Structure 1
Protein backbone atom coordinates (compact mmCIF):
# COMPACT_ATOMS: atom_id res chain seq x y z
CA UNK A 1 0.00 0.00 0.00
CA UNK A 2 1.34 3.42 -0.97
CA UNK A 3 0.85 6.20 1.55
CA UNK A 4 -0.42 9.38 -0.05
CA UNK A 5 -0.29 12.47 2.16
CA UNK A 6 -3.18 14.86 1.56
CA UNK A 7 -4.27 18.08 3.14
CA UNK A 8 -6.84 17.97 5.93
CA UNK A 9 -10.23 18.13 4.26
CA UNK A 10 -13.78 17.45 5.42
CA UNK A 11 -15.58 14.48 3.95
CA UNK A 12 -18.98 14.90 2.35
CA UNK A 13 -21.75 13.31 4.42
CA UNK A 14 -24.09 11.20 2.25
CA UNK A 15 -27.42 10.20 3.79
CA UNK A 16 -29.06 7.27 1.99
CA UNK A 17 -31.69 5.52 4.16
CA UNK A 18 -32.38 2.79 1.59
CA UNK A 19 -34.27 -0.16 3.06
CA UNK A 20 -35.89 -1.90 0.08
CA UNK A 21 -32.84 -4.11 -0.45
CA UNK A 22 -33.54 -5.90 2.84
CA UNK A 23 -37.13 -7.05 2.30
CA UNK A 24 -40.51 -5.73 3.38
CA UNK A 25 -39.48 -4.11 6.66
CA UNK A 26 -38.42 -0.49 7.16
CA UNK A 27 -36.19 -1.33 10.14
CA UNK A 28 -33.07 -0.19 8.28
CA UNK A 29 -34.64 3.11 7.26
CA UNK A 30 -35.30 3.80 10.93
CA UNK A 31 -31.79 2.69 11.86
CA UNK A 32 -30.26 4.95 9.21
CA UNK A 33 -32.24 7.87 10.61
CA UNK A 34 -30.97 7.10 14.12
CA UNK A 35 -27.38 7.09 12.84
CA UNK A 36 -27.96 10.28 10.87
CA UNK A 37 -29.31 12.04 13.96
CA UNK A 38 -25.97 11.29 15.65
CA UNK A 39 -23.99 12.85 12.79
CA UNK A 40 -26.33 15.53 11.53
CA UNK A 41 -24.50 18.77 10.91
CA UNK A 42 -23.88 21.13 8.02
CA UNK A 43 -25.48 20.31 4.68
CA UNK A 44 -25.51 16.57 4.03
CA UNK A 45 -26.14 15.19 0.55
CA UNK A 46 -29.42 13.29 0.67
CA UNK A 47 -30.40 10.49 -1.70
CA UNK A 48 -34.20 10.61 -2.06
CA UNK A 49 -36.20 7.43 -1.60
CA UNK A 50 -38.62 6.24 -4.25
CA UNK A 51 -42.25 5.48 -3.46
CA UNK A 52 -42.55 2.96 -6.30
CA UNK A 53 -44.16 -0.40 -5.44
CA UNK A 54 -41.92 -3.16 -4.10
CA UNK A 55 -42.13 -5.27 -7.25
CA UNK A 56 -39.92 -8.28 -7.97
CA UNK A 57 -38.09 -8.39 -11.29
CA UNK A 58 -35.06 -10.44 -12.33
CA UNK A 59 -35.49 -12.15 -8.92
CA UNK A 60 -34.61 -8.86 -7.20
CA UNK A 61 -37.18 -7.86 -4.59
CA UNK A 62 -38.05 -4.15 -4.77
CA UNK A 63 -36.33 -3.87 -8.13
CA UNK A 64 -37.78 -0.61 -9.46
CA UNK A 65 -37.36 1.58 -6.36
CA UNK A 66 -33.83 0.18 -5.96
CA UNK A 67 -33.01 1.00 -9.59
CA UNK A 68 -34.40 4.53 -9.23
CA UNK A 69 -32.47 5.14 -6.00
CA UNK A 70 -29.22 3.82 -7.48
CA UNK A 71 -29.57 6.29 -10.34
CA UNK A 72 -30.37 9.12 -7.89
CA UNK A 73 -27.26 8.30 -5.82
CA UNK A 74 -25.08 8.21 -8.94
CA UNK A 75 -26.42 11.56 -10.12
CA UNK A 76 -25.89 13.15 -6.70
CA UNK A 77 -22.27 11.99 -6.48
CA UNK A 78 -21.28 12.96 -9.99
CA UNK A 79 -22.94 16.35 -9.61
CA UNK A 80 -21.17 17.17 -6.34
CA UNK A 81 -17.85 15.38 -7.04
CA UNK A 82 -16.74 14.79 -3.43
CA UNK A 83 -13.08 13.83 -2.95
CA UNK A 84 -13.92 12.02 0.30
CA UNK A 85 -17.22 10.84 1.69
CA UNK A 86 -18.98 9.16 4.59
CA UNK A 87 -22.07 7.15 3.75
CA UNK A 88 -24.75 6.83 6.44
CA UNK A 89 -27.14 4.28 5.03
CA UNK A 90 -29.71 1.59 5.53
CA UNK A 91 -29.01 -1.58 3.58
CA UNK A 92 -25.65 -2.62 2.08
CA UNK A 93 -26.81 -2.15 -1.52
CA UNK A 94 -26.55 1.61 -0.88
CA UNK A 95 -22.77 1.06 -1.25
CA UNK A 96 -22.90 0.46 -5.00
CA UNK A 97 -22.95 4.09 -6.16
CA UNK A 98 -20.35 5.48 -3.69
CA UNK A 99 -17.81 2.70 -4.30
CA UNK A 100 -18.33 2.79 -8.05
CA UNK A 101 -17.95 6.58 -8.04
CA UNK A 102 -14.73 6.53 -5.99
CA UNK A 103 -13.27 3.59 -7.91
CA UNK A 104 -13.81 5.51 -11.13
CA UNK A 105 -12.60 8.83 -9.70
CA UNK A 106 -9.37 7.23 -8.49
CA UNK A 107 -8.90 5.13 -11.61
CA UNK A 108 -9.18 1.74 -9.94
CA UNK A 109 -6.55 2.53 -7.30
CA UNK A 110 -8.95 1.73 -4.48
CA UNK A 111 -8.70 -0.98 -1.84
CA UNK A 112 -12.17 -1.92 -0.58
CA UNK A 113 -12.20 -3.25 3.00
CA UNK A 114 -15.53 -5.07 3.35
CA UNK A 115 -16.21 -5.41 7.11
CA UNK A 116 -19.24 -7.64 7.18
CA UNK A 117 -20.49 -10.94 8.61
CA UNK A 118 -21.82 -11.67 5.13
CA UNK A 119 -20.05 -11.73 1.78
CA UNK A 120 -22.79 -9.91 -0.22
CA UNK A 121 -21.58 -11.85 -3.27
CA UNK A 122 -24.84 -13.39 -4.44
CA UNK A 123 -26.39 -12.86 -7.86
CA UNK A 124 -30.12 -12.69 -8.57
CA UNK A 125 -29.86 -16.35 -9.65
CA UNK A 126 -27.96 -17.58 -6.58
CA UNK A 127 -29.73 -15.47 -3.95
CA UNK A 128 -32.06 -17.56 -1.77
CA UNK A 129 -34.12 -14.49 -0.81
CA UNK A 130 -33.90 -12.09 -3.77
CA UNK A 131 -32.83 -9.36 -1.33
CA UNK A 132 -30.51 -6.91 -3.04
CA UNK A 133 -28.46 -6.22 0.09
CA UNK A 134 -26.90 -9.66 -0.41
CA UNK A 135 -25.64 -8.74 -3.91
CA UNK A 136 -23.81 -5.36 -3.94
CA UNK A 137 -20.21 -6.54 -3.76
CA UNK A 138 -20.86 -9.08 -6.53
CA UNK A 139 -22.36 -6.35 -8.72
CA UNK A 140 -19.32 -4.14 -8.10
CA UNK A 141 -16.94 -6.99 -8.96
CA UNK A 142 -18.78 -8.25 -12.04
CA UNK A 143 -19.88 -4.81 -13.27
CA UNK A 144 -23.40 -6.11 -13.81
CA UNK A 145 -25.65 -9.17 -13.81
CA UNK A 146 -26.49 -11.20 -16.92
CA UNK A 147 -29.79 -10.07 -18.40
CA UNK A 148 -30.31 -7.35 -15.77
CA UNK A 149 -30.02 -3.66 -16.77
CA UNK A 150 -27.84 -2.79 -13.76
CA UNK A 151 -24.30 -1.69 -14.57
CA UNK A 152 -21.40 0.01 -12.85
CA UNK A 153 -19.07 2.43 -14.60
CA UNK A 154 -15.88 0.55 -13.69
CA UNK A 155 -15.48 -2.95 -12.31
CA UNK A 156 -13.78 -3.43 -8.97
CA UNK A 157 -11.09 -6.09 -9.41
CA UNK A 158 -10.99 -9.03 -7.02
CA UNK A 159 -7.47 -8.09 -5.88
CA UNK A 160 -8.84 -4.75 -4.66
CA UNK A 161 -11.11 -6.41 -2.06
CA UNK A 162 -10.52 -7.62 1.49
CA UNK A 163 -13.35 -9.49 3.23
CA UNK A 164 -13.05 -9.25 7.01
CA UNK A 165 -15.35 -10.59 9.71
CA UNK A 166 -17.03 -13.01 7.29
CA UNK A 167 -18.95 -15.68 9.22
CA UNK A 168 -22.02 -16.64 7.20
CA UNK A 169 -21.30 -17.01 3.47
CA UNK A 170 -23.64 -18.96 1.18
CA UNK A 171 -22.16 -21.89 -0.76
CA UNK A 172 -22.13 -20.06 -4.16
CA UNK A 173 -20.36 -17.13 -2.50
CA UNK A 174 -17.67 -19.46 -1.16
CA UNK A 175 -17.12 -20.83 -4.66
CA UNK A 176 -16.86 -17.30 -6.09
CA UNK A 177 -14.34 -16.27 -3.41
CA UNK A 178 -12.11 -19.25 -4.20
CA UNK A 179 -12.41 -18.91 -7.97
CA UNK A 180 -11.52 -15.21 -7.84
CA UNK A 181 -8.80 -15.43 -5.16
CA UNK A 182 -10.47 -12.77 -2.98
CA UNK A 183 -8.56 -11.95 0.21
CA UNK A 184 -10.53 -13.22 3.20
CA UNK A 185 -9.70 -12.77 6.86
CA UNK A 186 -10.77 -16.01 8.49
CA UNK A 187 -11.37 -16.44 12.22
CA UNK A 188 -11.46 -14.05 15.14
CA UNK A 189 -8.12 -14.88 16.79
CA UNK A 190 -5.59 -12.15 16.08
CA UNK A 191 -7.85 -10.68 13.42
CA UNK A 192 -6.75 -7.06 13.89
CA UNK A 193 -3.10 -7.60 12.99
CA UNK A 194 -4.07 -9.98 10.20
CA UNK A 195 -6.32 -7.33 8.69
CA UNK A 196 -3.63 -4.66 8.94
CA UNK A 197 -1.19 -7.06 7.26
CA UNK A 198 -3.64 -7.68 4.42
CA UNK A 199 -4.13 -3.94 3.91
CA UNK A 200 -0.36 -3.45 3.79
CA UNK A 201 -0.08 -6.08 1.04
CA UNK A 202 -2.40 -4.19 -1.30
CA UNK A 203 -0.86 -1.82 -3.85
CA UNK A 204 -3.77 0.59 -4.22
CA UNK A 205 -3.22 4.20 -3.25
CA UNK A 206 -6.66 4.82 -1.75
CA UNK A 207 -8.89 2.97 0.75
CA UNK A 208 -12.64 2.61 1.19
CA UNK A 209 -14.06 1.09 4.40
CA UNK A 210 -17.46 -0.59 4.25
CA UNK A 211 -18.79 -1.28 7.74
CA UNK A 212 -21.90 -3.40 8.08
CA UNK A 213 -22.47 -3.27 11.82
CA UNK A 214 -23.34 -6.96 11.91
CA UNK A 215 -19.57 -7.56 11.74
CA UNK A 216 -19.64 -6.83 15.47
CA UNK A 217 -20.44 -9.40 18.14
CA UNK A 218 -24.23 -9.23 18.58
CA UNK A 219 -23.76 -9.96 22.28
CA UNK A 220 -22.45 -6.40 22.62
CA UNK A 221 -24.29 -4.69 19.75
CA UNK A 222 -27.53 -6.52 18.91
CA UNK A 223 -29.21 -3.72 16.92
CA UNK A 224 -28.51 -5.08 13.45
CA UNK A 225 -30.67 -6.53 10.68
CA UNK A 226 -28.84 -9.87 10.41
CA UNK A 227 -27.11 -10.69 13.73
CA UNK A 228 -24.51 -13.43 13.38
CA UNK A 229 -22.86 -15.21 16.35
CA UNK A 230 -19.34 -14.16 17.40
CA UNK A 231 -17.88 -11.14 15.64
CA UNK A 232 -15.48 -8.31 16.30
CA UNK A 233 -15.15 -6.40 19.54
CA UNK A 234 -16.16 -2.78 18.95
CA UNK A 235 -13.21 -1.24 20.80
CA UNK A 236 -10.71 -3.42 18.94
CA UNK A 237 -12.40 -2.58 15.64
CA UNK A 238 -12.24 1.12 16.46
CA UNK A 239 -8.51 0.84 17.20
CA UNK A 240 -8.03 -0.91 13.86
CA UNK A 241 -9.99 1.79 12.02
CA UNK A 242 -7.80 4.47 13.58
CA UNK A 243 -4.60 2.69 12.53
CA UNK A 244 -5.85 2.52 8.95
CA UNK A 245 -6.92 6.17 9.02
CA UNK A 246 -3.55 7.23 10.44
CA UNK A 247 -1.52 5.35 7.84
CA UNK A 248 -3.46 5.25 4.58
CA UNK A 249 -5.38 7.61 2.36
CA UNK A 250 -8.97 6.73 3.20
CA UNK A 251 -11.32 8.39 0.70
CA UNK A 252 -14.55 6.86 1.93
CA UNK A 253 -16.22 5.18 4.90
CA UNK A 254 -19.70 3.77 5.39
CA UNK A 255 -22.01 2.69 8.20
CA UNK A 256 -24.87 0.35 7.31
CA UNK A 257 -27.46 -2.16 8.52
CA UNK A 258 -28.37 -1.02 12.02
CA UNK A 259 -31.89 -1.28 13.39
CA UNK A 260 -31.23 1.04 16.34
CA UNK A 261 -34.22 3.22 17.19
CA UNK A 262 -32.67 5.42 19.87
CA UNK A 263 -29.37 7.11 20.60
CA UNK A 264 -29.12 4.96 23.72
CA UNK A 265 -29.04 1.84 21.55
CA UNK A 266 -26.01 3.26 19.72
CA UNK A 267 -24.05 3.70 22.96
CA UNK A 268 -22.00 0.45 22.55
CA UNK A 269 -20.51 1.79 19.29
CA UNK A 270 -20.02 5.41 20.35
CA UNK A 271 -16.22 5.15 19.95
CA UNK A 272 -16.65 4.02 16.35
CA UNK A 273 -19.18 6.76 15.61
CA UNK A 274 -16.84 9.38 17.06
CA UNK A 275 -14.04 8.12 14.80
CA UNK A 276 -16.34 8.63 11.83
CA UNK A 277 -17.15 12.12 13.09
CA UNK A 278 -13.47 12.98 13.28
CA UNK A 279 -12.98 11.68 9.76
CA UNK A 280 -15.84 13.85 8.49
CA UNK A 281 -14.22 16.86 10.17
CA UNK A 282 -10.87 16.20 8.44
CA UNK A 283 -8.97 15.11 11.52
CA UNK A 284 -6.87 12.58 9.60
CA UNK A 285 -4.14 13.97 7.35
CA UNK A 286 -3.82 11.04 4.96
Structure 2
Protein backbone atom coordinates (compact mmCIF):
# COMPACT_ATOMS: atom_id res chain seq x y z
CA UNK A 1 0.00 0.00 0.00
CA UNK A 2 1.24 3.49 -0.84
CA UNK A 3 2.56 5.21 2.28
CA UNK A 4 2.22 8.81 3.41
CA UNK A 5 4.53 10.47 5.99
CA UNK A 6 3.66 13.99 7.18
CA UNK A 7 5.83 16.34 9.25
CA UNK A 8 4.34 19.67 10.33
CA UNK A 9 6.61 22.31 11.89
CA UNK A 10 5.35 25.49 13.55
CA UNK A 11 7.27 27.96 15.72
CA UNK A 12 5.74 30.85 17.62
CA UNK A 13 9.18 31.73 19.04
CA UNK A 14 12.85 30.76 18.93
CA UNK A 15 15.48 30.34 21.64
CA UNK A 16 16.89 33.84 22.26
CA UNK A 17 20.21 32.41 23.39
CA UNK A 18 20.71 31.00 19.87
CA UNK A 19 19.60 34.14 18.02
CA UNK A 20 21.57 36.97 19.62
CA UNK A 21 18.83 37.73 22.16
CA UNK A 22 15.96 37.77 19.62
CA UNK A 23 12.88 35.73 20.58
CA UNK A 24 11.13 35.93 17.20
CA UNK A 25 7.63 35.99 18.65
CA UNK A 26 4.77 35.06 16.35
CA UNK A 27 1.21 34.04 17.17
CA UNK A 28 -0.20 31.93 14.35
CA UNK A 29 2.40 29.31 13.38
CA UNK A 30 1.19 26.61 15.74
CA UNK A 31 -2.34 27.27 14.46
CA UNK A 32 -1.07 26.64 10.93
CA UNK A 33 0.15 23.22 12.01
CA UNK A 34 -3.43 22.30 12.96
CA UNK A 35 -4.55 23.23 9.42
CA UNK A 36 -1.90 21.07 7.73
CA UNK A 37 -2.47 18.21 10.18
CA UNK A 38 -6.17 18.23 9.29
CA UNK A 39 -5.36 18.09 5.56
CA UNK A 40 -3.01 15.15 6.13
CA UNK A 41 -5.59 13.30 8.20
CA UNK A 42 -8.26 13.82 5.57
CA UNK A 43 -5.88 12.53 2.89
CA UNK A 44 -5.20 9.37 4.90
CA UNK A 45 -1.51 9.84 5.77
CA UNK A 46 -0.48 6.91 7.96
CA UNK A 47 2.21 8.79 9.90
CA UNK A 48 1.57 12.37 11.01
CA UNK A 49 4.07 14.19 13.23
CA UNK A 50 4.05 17.70 14.70
CA UNK A 51 6.97 19.75 16.02
CA UNK A 52 5.82 22.88 17.86
CA UNK A 53 8.10 25.76 18.93
CA UNK A 54 10.61 24.36 21.48
CA UNK A 55 10.32 20.86 19.99
CA UNK A 56 11.08 22.18 16.50
CA UNK A 57 14.83 21.78 16.80
CA UNK A 58 17.17 20.95 13.94
CA UNK A 59 17.95 17.53 15.43
CA UNK A 60 14.25 16.64 15.60
CA UNK A 61 13.47 17.89 12.09
CA UNK A 62 16.48 16.18 10.51
CA UNK A 63 15.77 12.92 12.35
CA UNK A 64 12.21 12.88 11.01
CA UNK A 65 13.50 13.46 7.49
CA UNK A 66 16.02 10.64 7.88
CA UNK A 67 13.27 8.35 9.17
CA UNK A 68 11.01 9.24 6.26
CA UNK A 69 13.81 8.67 3.74
CA UNK A 70 14.46 5.23 5.23
CA UNK A 71 10.79 4.22 5.12
CA UNK A 72 9.43 5.65 1.89
CA UNK A 73 9.84 3.91 -1.47
CA UNK A 74 8.87 4.77 -5.04
CA UNK A 75 5.30 6.04 -5.17
CA UNK A 76 5.19 7.00 -1.48
CA UNK A 77 4.78 10.60 -0.35
CA UNK A 78 6.34 12.98 2.17
CA UNK A 79 4.32 16.04 3.20
CA UNK A 80 6.60 18.63 4.86
CA UNK A 81 5.15 21.91 6.13
CA UNK A 82 6.83 24.83 7.88
CA UNK A 83 5.34 27.90 9.50
CA UNK A 84 7.76 30.33 11.10
CA UNK A 85 10.40 32.92 10.37
CA UNK A 86 12.40 32.80 7.16
CA UNK A 87 16.01 33.87 7.35
CA UNK A 88 19.30 34.08 5.47
CA UNK A 89 22.81 32.86 6.10
CA UNK A 90 26.13 33.72 4.47
CA UNK A 91 26.79 31.18 1.71
CA UNK A 92 30.14 29.95 2.99
CA UNK A 93 30.30 26.97 0.62
CA UNK A 94 29.60 29.22 -2.39
CA UNK A 95 26.86 27.15 -4.01
CA UNK A 96 24.12 29.77 -4.03
CA UNK A 97 23.05 31.17 -7.40
CA UNK A 98 20.39 33.61 -6.14
CA UNK A 99 21.16 37.27 -6.69
CA UNK A 100 19.55 39.76 -4.31
CA UNK A 101 21.67 42.83 -5.00
CA UNK A 102 23.75 43.81 -2.03
CA UNK A 103 22.78 40.58 -0.27
CA UNK A 104 23.78 38.17 -3.02
CA UNK A 105 25.61 35.10 -1.80
CA UNK A 106 23.17 34.18 0.98
CA UNK A 107 21.42 30.86 1.63
CA UNK A 108 17.73 30.77 2.52
CA UNK A 109 16.88 29.30 5.94
CA UNK A 110 14.09 28.24 8.25
CA UNK A 111 14.50 29.66 11.75
CA UNK A 112 14.11 26.56 13.91
CA UNK A 113 14.17 26.78 17.68
CA UNK A 114 17.86 26.17 18.24
CA UNK A 115 19.36 27.41 14.96
CA UNK A 116 18.68 28.15 11.32
CA UNK A 117 18.11 25.14 9.05
CA UNK A 118 19.92 25.90 5.79
CA UNK A 119 18.38 25.24 2.38
CA UNK A 120 21.50 23.18 1.58
CA UNK A 121 20.54 20.84 4.43
CA UNK A 122 17.03 20.38 3.09
CA UNK A 123 18.40 19.68 -0.38
CA UNK A 124 20.81 17.14 1.09
CA UNK A 125 17.95 15.45 2.96
CA UNK A 126 15.81 15.29 -0.17
CA UNK A 127 18.75 13.67 -1.94
CA UNK A 128 18.49 10.71 0.46
CA UNK A 129 14.99 9.73 -0.70
CA UNK A 130 14.47 6.86 -3.13
CA UNK A 131 13.71 7.43 -6.78
CA UNK A 132 10.02 8.05 -7.36
CA UNK A 133 9.19 9.29 -3.85
CA UNK A 134 6.99 12.38 -3.99
CA UNK A 135 7.92 15.28 -1.67
CA UNK A 136 5.36 18.04 -1.13
CA UNK A 137 6.57 21.12 0.77
CA UNK A 138 4.59 24.12 2.05
CA UNK A 139 6.64 26.95 3.54
CA UNK A 140 4.61 29.75 5.13
CA UNK A 141 7.60 31.99 5.83
CA UNK A 142 9.46 34.92 4.36
CA UNK A 143 12.36 34.08 2.04
CA UNK A 144 15.76 35.68 2.25
CA UNK A 145 14.94 38.23 -0.41
CA UNK A 146 12.73 40.07 2.05
CA UNK A 147 15.68 40.42 4.40
CA UNK A 148 18.09 41.31 1.62
CA UNK A 149 16.01 44.18 0.34
CA UNK A 150 15.28 45.51 3.84
CA UNK A 151 11.56 45.77 3.18
CA UNK A 152 9.61 48.62 4.74
CA UNK A 153 8.24 48.06 8.25
CA UNK A 154 4.84 46.43 8.43
CA UNK A 155 1.90 48.70 9.23
CA UNK A 156 0.61 47.77 12.68
CA UNK A 157 -3.06 48.32 13.51
CA UNK A 158 -4.03 49.46 16.98
CA UNK A 159 -5.69 46.54 18.74
CA UNK A 160 -5.82 44.87 22.14
CA UNK A 161 -5.59 41.43 20.54
CA UNK A 162 -2.02 40.59 19.41
CA UNK A 163 -3.28 37.73 17.24
CA UNK A 164 -5.06 40.22 14.93
CA UNK A 165 -1.97 42.38 14.40
CA UNK A 166 -0.44 41.82 10.95
CA UNK A 167 3.06 40.45 11.39
CA UNK A 168 5.77 39.50 8.93
CA UNK A 169 7.55 36.17 9.28
CA UNK A 170 11.11 37.30 8.67
CA UNK A 171 14.17 37.57 10.87
CA UNK A 172 15.72 41.07 10.96
CA UNK A 173 19.00 41.43 9.11
CA UNK A 174 20.93 42.66 12.16
CA UNK A 175 19.77 39.61 14.13
CA UNK A 176 20.84 37.27 11.33
CA UNK A 177 24.28 38.86 11.09
CA UNK A 178 24.88 38.80 14.85
CA UNK A 179 23.66 35.22 15.01
CA UNK A 180 25.99 34.15 12.23
CA UNK A 181 28.99 35.96 13.70
CA UNK A 182 28.37 34.38 17.11
CA UNK A 183 27.97 30.85 15.72
CA UNK A 184 30.12 31.16 12.60
CA UNK A 185 32.16 28.02 13.19
CA UNK A 186 29.03 25.92 13.63
CA UNK A 187 27.26 27.19 10.52
CA UNK A 188 30.37 27.04 8.31
CA UNK A 189 31.08 23.48 9.44
CA UNK A 190 27.50 22.44 8.61
CA UNK A 191 27.62 23.99 5.14
CA UNK A 192 31.08 22.82 4.08
CA UNK A 193 30.26 19.21 3.03
CA UNK A 194 26.82 19.92 1.56
CA UNK A 195 27.06 19.73 -2.22
CA UNK A 196 23.76 18.11 -3.27
CA UNK A 197 22.21 19.85 -6.27
CA UNK A 198 18.60 19.82 -7.30
CA UNK A 199 19.55 17.76 -10.35
CA UNK A 200 20.99 15.06 -8.07
CA UNK A 201 17.67 14.43 -6.34
CA UNK A 202 15.94 11.18 -7.33
CA UNK A 203 12.68 12.11 -5.60
CA UNK A 204 10.23 14.58 -7.15
CA UNK A 205 9.81 17.78 -5.13
CA UNK A 206 6.93 20.26 -5.34
CA UNK A 207 7.33 23.34 -3.18
CA UNK A 208 4.74 26.00 -2.42
CA UNK A 209 6.13 29.22 -0.95
CA UNK A 210 4.06 31.85 0.82
CA UNK A 211 5.73 34.69 -1.10
CA UNK A 212 8.46 35.58 -3.58
CA UNK A 213 12.06 35.91 -2.43
CA UNK A 214 11.82 39.69 -2.21
CA UNK A 215 8.54 39.80 -0.26
CA UNK A 216 7.19 39.35 3.26
CA UNK A 217 4.93 36.50 4.33
CA UNK A 218 2.22 37.84 6.62
CA UNK A 219 0.17 36.38 9.43
CA UNK A 220 -3.05 37.86 10.80
CA UNK A 221 -6.26 36.68 12.49
CA UNK A 222 -4.94 33.40 13.74
CA UNK A 223 -3.12 31.95 10.73
CA UNK A 224 -0.48 32.71 8.14
CA UNK A 225 -2.13 34.46 5.22
CA UNK A 226 -0.86 31.78 2.85
CA UNK A 227 -2.05 28.90 5.04
CA UNK A 228 -5.48 30.52 5.40
CA UNK A 229 -5.75 30.85 1.62
CA UNK A 230 -4.66 27.23 1.14
CA UNK A 231 -7.29 26.05 3.59
CA UNK A 232 -9.94 28.01 1.74
CA UNK A 233 -8.70 26.79 -1.66
CA UNK A 234 -9.07 23.18 -0.55
CA UNK A 235 -12.80 23.77 -0.15
CA UNK A 236 -12.99 23.93 -3.95
CA UNK A 237 -12.73 20.92 -6.29
CA UNK A 238 -9.15 21.53 -7.47
CA UNK A 239 -7.91 18.78 -9.78
CA UNK A 240 -4.12 19.16 -9.50
CA UNK A 241 -1.33 21.23 -7.99
CA UNK A 242 -1.29 23.76 -10.80
CA UNK A 243 -4.99 24.40 -10.25
CA UNK A 244 -4.46 24.59 -6.49
CA UNK A 245 -1.81 27.26 -6.96
CA UNK A 246 -4.10 29.27 -9.24
CA UNK A 247 -6.88 29.21 -6.64
CA UNK A 248 -4.48 30.25 -3.86
CA UNK A 249 -3.15 33.12 -5.98
CA UNK A 250 -6.64 34.58 -6.36
CA UNK A 251 -6.71 35.29 -2.63
CA UNK A 252 -3.67 37.57 -2.76
CA UNK A 253 -3.03 41.10 -3.88
CA UNK A 254 -0.58 43.84 -3.01
CA UNK A 255 2.87 42.94 -1.74
CA UNK A 256 2.63 39.18 -1.15
CA UNK A 257 2.57 36.77 -4.08
CA UNK A 258 2.86 32.98 -3.53
CA UNK A 259 5.41 30.90 -5.38
CA UNK A 260 5.37 27.36 -6.84
CA UNK A 261 8.26 25.37 -8.26
CA UNK A 262 9.18 21.74 -8.72
CA UNK A 263 12.32 19.75 -9.48
CA UNK A 264 13.93 16.33 -9.27
CA UNK A 265 13.28 13.04 -11.03
CA UNK A 266 9.79 13.14 -12.49
CA UNK A 267 9.08 9.42 -12.18
CA UNK A 268 5.44 10.26 -11.48
CA UNK A 269 3.15 12.91 -12.94
CA UNK A 270 3.12 14.59 -9.53
CA UNK A 271 1.98 18.03 -10.71
CA UNK A 272 -1.04 16.48 -12.41
CA UNK A 273 -2.26 14.60 -9.34
CA UNK A 274 -5.04 15.58 -6.95
CA UNK A 275 -3.60 17.72 -4.12
CA UNK A 276 -2.55 15.76 -1.03
CA UNK A 277 -3.57 12.45 -2.59
CA UNK A 278 -1.30 9.61 -1.49
CA UNK A 279 -2.44 7.33 -4.31
CA UNK A 280 -0.62 7.74 -7.60
CA UNK A 281 0.00 6.00 -10.90
CA UNK A 282 3.51 5.70 -12.41
CA UNK A 283 4.20 7.17 -15.81
CA UNK A 284 7.24 7.04 -18.09
CA UNK A 285 8.36 10.60 -17.57
CA UNK A 286 11.96 11.32 -16.68
CA UNK A 287 13.90 14.45 -15.85
Do the two structures share a fold, i.e. TM-score over 0.5? Answer: no
With structure 2 as the length reference, what TM-score do the two structures score?
A: 0.41
Which is richer in helix? 1
Structure with higher Rg: it is 2
- Relative CO higher for 1 or 2, CA cutoff 8 Å, sep ≥ 6? 1
With structure 1 as the length reference, what TM-score do the two structures score?
A: 0.41
